[in-house]
Amino acid sequence: MVPPLLADIDGTLTRPDKSIDPRVFDALREWSAPVVIATGKAFPYPVGLCEFLGIPLCVVAENGGAVYVDEADEVVYNGDPEGARAVAEAYREAGHDLGWGSVDPVNRWRETELAVARDQPLAPLERIAA
Whether residue 49 sits in one domain with residue 87 = no
pLDDT value of residue 53: 95
Confidence check: pLDDT of 122 > 90 = yes
Calculate mean pLDDT across residues 50-65. Answer: 96
Residues marked as catalytic = 8
Q: Give residue 71's pLDDT band: very low, low, confident or very high (50, 70, 90).
A: confident
Whether residue 95 sits in one domain with residue 46 = no
pTM for the whole thing? 0.83
Whether residue 87 sits in one domain with residue 70 = no
For 89, the domain range is: 81-129
Strands 74-77 and 66-69: antiparallel
For 66, the enclosing helix (H) or strand (E) is strand 66-69
Contacts of 27 (CB under 8 A, 6+ apart): none
Whether residue 71 sits in one domain with residue 98 = no
For 84, the enclosing helix (H) or strand (E) is helix 81-93
Confidence check: pLDDT of 79 > 90 = no
Confidence check: pLDDT of 81 > 90 = no
Confidence check: pLDDT of 21 > 90 = no
Q: Taking the CB of residue 119, how many other CB atoms lie within 10 A of it?
A: 7
Distance CA 128, CA 130 (A): 6
CATH number at residue 30: 3.40.50.1000
pLDDT value of residue 70: 86
Whether residue 109 sits in one domain with residue 87 = yes
Query: What total of structural domains would you count in the chain?
Result: 2
